[in-house]
Amino acid sequence: MASTIQSPHDAIFKGLLGKPEHARGVLCEVVPVAVAKAIDWQTLTQIPGNFIDLELRQQYTDLLFSARWHEGSELLAYFLFEHLSAPPKTRDGPIAYRLLRYQVRIWEDWFSRNPEAKTLPMIIPIVMYHGQAPWSEPRLFGDVLAVPPGVRPAVERYLVQFAYLLDDLSEISDDELRARAMTAVAKLVALCFKHARTSPDFMTLLRRWMDVVREVVLAPNGLAALAQVLCYVLQVSEHVEREALKVLLAREIGPETEEAIVTAGQLLIEQGREEGRQQGREEGREEGRQRLQEMLLQLLRQRFGGQVDSHVEQRIGAASIEQVETWTRRVLSVATLGELFAN
C-alpha cells in the first residue's frame, strides 16, 4: 500500500516538535508542575509508533515520548503528544476514545516486552490544538460514555476515567507564547501554527519575532529547521510570498538565510512531486499531472508574479507530466521564464 502523504501541519509537527530537544520545553509547559519537577527531562526519548496498528497510523499523527523519573531510575513515564489543526471529524469518534485506543496499544507493546510486570507505566495524553473553531470536545473520557445521570454516581467507580491535557494555542497570547521556556524553534513553530494560515498580516507579525528567528538561525542545524518552518508558511498562507520572505530575512537577519529560502523551495518541490506521484498511483496519471501543474504555477507566481499570465498557464496545462517535472526542477535556478521553458 502506498504511504500516506503528510499534511503540512503533520510534517512540521513531527519533523521539528518530534525532536526531544524541542519537545522537552513544550511538554514541560503543559504537564502539572509536580510532574515537570519529578521527570528527568534529559532522558526524554521519542518512541517509534510501530506498535500502532495500520488503521490508526493511516488516520492520525502521533508522537510518543518516554522519560525516566528522578526517583526510581528504571521507572518510565510516557507522553502521548497529539496535534490537531481542526476539530476531529465526527466519523473518527471522540478524541478521548482515540487517545484511549492509543494508550491501550502502548501498554500492550510494553507488556509484550515486560511480561512479568505487575504495574503499568504512566501515560499522559496531550493535545496541541491550533484550529480556527473553538475546542468543544469533552476533556474527560467519562463524559463520552452514555450513562443516565441518575445511574452515574452508582457506576462511576467501575468506568474508565481519564482526562487529556489540551494546549489550545488560540487561548494563549503571543506574549505568553514568547515567554514559554521552550527552544526558539518550538516557539516559532507554535507561532506559525497559531497565525500562518489565517493572518492576512503574518509578515508584520513575523517581523516582530525576528529575535526568535535569529535564535533559530544561530542554533545547531538552525537553517535546516528554519527551512522547514518557511516551507510550512509558504504552503498554508495565502498572504506570504517567497520573495517577500527572502527580502525580510536578508534585511533583518543576513544573507545566510537565503540558504533556508532555497531549501524551503526545494522541500515544496519535493512534496509537490511526491504528492503528484501518489495522486498518480491512487487516482491515475492525469490527476498526478494536474497536481504537479498546480504546484509549479504556485512556485512561478511566487517568483515572477504578474509575468505568469494566461499564456504561461496554457503552456503548463498542455505539458506532459515529464515536462512539468523538468520545469519544476529548474524553477529555483532560472532567472527568467524564458530560461525555464528553454529546451
Taking only the tens place, the pLDDT of each residue in 82-96 is: 888 888 776 678 899
17 and 166, same domain (yes or no): yes
162 and 19, same domain (yes or no): yes
What is the count of structural domains for the chain? 2
Share of the chain above pLDDT 70, in %: 87
Last residue of a domain, one of 171, 188, 204: 171
Residue-level pLDDT at 289: 73
Asked if residue 118 is part of any domain, the answer here is: yes
Residue-level pLDDT at 31: 94
Residue-level pLDDT at 275: 54
130 and 226, same domain (yes or no): no
Q: Are 8 and 235 in contact (CB under 8 A)?
A: yes
Residue-level pLDDT at 202: 93
Asked if residue 249 is part of any domain, the answer here is: yes
160 and 256, same domain (yes or no): no
87 and 148, same domain (yes or no): yes
Nearest to residue 184, comparing CAs of 204, 146, 213? 213
153 and 14, same domain (yes or no): yes
54 and 138, same domain (yes or no): yes
Query: Buried b vs exposed e over 20-53: b needs ≥16 C-beta within 10 Å?
Result: bebbbbbbbbbbeeebeeebebebbebbebebbe
25 and 161, same domain (yes or no): yes
Residue 58 in this model has a pLDDT that exceeds 50: no
At 203, the pLDDT band (50, 70, 90 cuts) reads: very high
Domain that holds residue 132: 8-171
Q: Can you give the chain as a three-state secondary structure string?
A: CCCCCCCHHHHHHHHCCCCHHHHHHHHHHHCCHHHHHHEEEEEEEEECCCCCCHHHHHHCCCEEEEEEECCCCCCEEEEEEEEECCCCCHHHCCHHHHHHHHHHHHHHHHHHHCCCCCCCCEEEEEEEECCCCCCCCCCEHHHHCCCCCCCHHHHHHHCCCCECEEEEHHHCCHHHHHHCCCCHHHHHHHHHHHHCCCCCCHHHHHHHCHHHHHHHHHCCCHHHHHHHHHHHHHHHCCCCCHHHHHHHHHHHCCHHHHHHHHHHHHHHHHHHHHHHHHHHHHHCHHHHHHHHHHHHHHHHHHHHHHHCCHHHHHHHHHCCHHHHHHHHHHCCCCCCHHHHHCC
Q: Could you give the CA distance from residue 237 to residue 192 in angstroms, rounded to a whole number? A: 10
pLDDT tens profile 218-244: 999 998 999 889 888 988 888 888 888
Residue-level pLDDT at 150: 94
Asked if residue 276 is part of any domain, the answer here is: yes
Asked if residue 68 is part of any domain, the answer here is: yes
Q: Exposed/middle/buried for 142, CB within 10 Å: 0-12, 13-18, 19+?
A: middle
150 and 229, same domain (yes or no): no
Residue-level pLDDT at 4: 44
User: Any idea which residue has 512534496 for its cell?
Assistant: 271
Residue-level pLDDT at 271: 60
Asked if residue 265 is part of any domain, the answer here is: yes
User: Any idea which residue has 514568547 for its cell?
Assistant: 178
Q: Exposed/middle/buried for 203, CB within 10 Å: 0-12, 13-18, 19+?
A: middle
Q: Could you give the CA distance from residue 184 to residue 322 in angstroms, rounded to a whole number? A: 40
325's grid cell: 517535472
261's grid cell: 529560502
Asked if residue 191 is part of any domain, the answer here is: no
149 and 56, same domain (yes or no): yes
85 and 230, same domain (yes or no): no
99 and 37, same domain (yes or no): yes
- Mean pLDDT for all residues in the chain: 84
Asked if residue 184 is part of any domain, the answer here is: no
Asked if residue 314 is part of any domain, the answer here is: yes
